[in-house]
Amino acid sequence: MNGQRTAASDPYFPDNGDSRYRAHRYELALEYRPGPNRLAGTARISAIAGRAPLTEFHLNLAEFKIGRVMVNGRAPHYTHRGGKLRIRPAKPLPAGAAFTVEVHWAGNPKPVRSPWGGLGWEELTDGALVASQPVGAPSWYPCNDRPADKASYQISVNTPSPYTVVAGGRLLTRTTKASTTTWVYEQPAPTSSYLVGLSIGVYQTVLLGDPGLGGVPMTAHVPAHLLPQFSRDFARQPAMMQLFEDLFGPYPFGEYTVLVADEELDVPVEAQGLSLFGANHVDGARGSERLVAHELAHQWFGNSVTIADWRHIWLNEGFAKYAEWLWSERSGGRRAHEHAAAAHRVLATLPQDLRLVDPGRKLMFDDRLYQRGGLAVHAIRCALGDGAFFRMLRDWATVHRHGVVSTAAFTTHVARYAHEPVDEVFSAWLYEPSLPPLPVPPPVRPTASTPAKPGYPPTNGRSAGRASA
């Protein structure tokens, strides 16, 4: 078998993922012992071959010891080197055929190397945490590691009973036998491998909002000593959820979970139906509230509406950044245009060498991409006007719910809502590296249901005052 890139490989990470097939479902059964940091797992992956017969394929998996590999119940030929489990079935799989792969592995999980440091499984002082964006998923389970390959997941984790296991999705069962407990989570929504989050630690579990009101079930898992600060810092998350459902459409998953690790994290990280924060993001003064909004917004932009490959990452981060500004605007803080102006002033002092549409791997997490992405969304809002912009935004999240998108799909979508051509807006903000002038919002005519505040988005009949409660 050769290590050549497959057709439609991600240009930023050509060694990750295999487009010759697509995964449909992962069933992961894990045993983890925190003391020795020992992980043993079995993965059963249901998949579908592509348009050509499949004589070989690969999964991404870090350097664990492989116990057994099966394809459709038969032992294949396989090799495992350089983070790739290359598999050659005993018989070629016909084009379009459904098949199953079973992999048994064990070892001491650790982060995989990347230009941004270690990614994926991280052993904590007391427990473990998984934050995989963009290529850390193979640090703990075998997967077709590319964002466009979305599948459902069932994750079972057996670990010592004092620990809580948190994963994205619905907790199906929690069964204690002797000194260990097995937690089983189900995530039926299509999920990218990098968005499969997991944490094992000692936490207090609290509910956010009133589940009796029929809203999205929201749960938090927090170290006990941080609960007083957390209760203030995340108090307005239910109002954020209400606002974002108004603006972006119904929340795309069955539940939303927040986890605060008892260690510092450089930045919060989104996972499917789950957001991971560090202890440093909890200060009791709402000092990181914009990040609470940012991670929640990713559930629509990035998690439900997923990029085809990492060249389009601005579609994740630009919309999450703009959601921060919308939350500020609707909760009594600065207007989105004020945030845009501040971001523009900062970007004007920095190098002009970043193209949003294809920033390159080196710059894909540069702070300029986040800020310029938010500015690009604001420029589109200014070009369309609020009415058309918010219809466009909600429809984008609704039409592509649980789907895969690209920048080209987005520009085509936006053009349908424009009264005049917007090609120059796209060219200036997405394709050219030089910073365009700050966009100017059109005047807003106050109505009986819209406060006379420039740039205020529609409320769909809900009181804006509830967002600042």
| Cβ burial, residue 291 (10 Å; 0-12/13-18/19+) | middle
**DSSP letters along 22-80, please?**
EEEEEEEEEEEETTTTEEEEEEEEEEEE-SS-BS-EEEE--SPEEEEEEETTB--EEEE
Calculate the alpha carbon distances from 465 to 106, 250, 272, 459 in Å. 53, 20, 29, 10
For the CA atoms of 320, 322, 326, 332, the dihedral, rounded to the nearest 10 degrees, stands at: 100
Per the annotation, the verdict on 370 as an active-site residue is: yes
Please answer whether residues 295 and 394 qualify as being in contact, where contact means their C-beta atoms are separated by less than 8 angstroms. no
Amino acid type, 302: G
Nearest by Cα to 407 from 304, 340, 309, 323? 309
Catalytic residue among 185, 194, 370, 417: 370
Name the strand (E) or helix (H) holding 420. none
Query: Does residue 58 have a known ligand-binding role?
Result: no
Catalytic residue among 122, 270, 295, 329: 295
Query: Does residue 298 have a known ligand-binding role?
Result: yes
Please tell me whether residue 415 adopts helix, strand or coil conformation: helix
For the CA atoms of 373, 8, 140, 29, the dihedral, rounded to the nearest 10 degrees, stands at: 110
User: How many Å apart are CA 272 and CA 190, to the nearest integer?
Assistant: 9
User: How many Å apart are CA 42 and CA 200, to the nearest integer?
Assistant: 18
**Scanning the structure block, which residue is given the tokens 């008892």?**
262
Query: Does residue 413 have a known ligand-binding role?
Result: no
* Bind-site residues: 294, 298, 317
* Bind-site residues for Zn(2+): 294, 298, 317
Catalytic sites, residue numbers: 295, 370
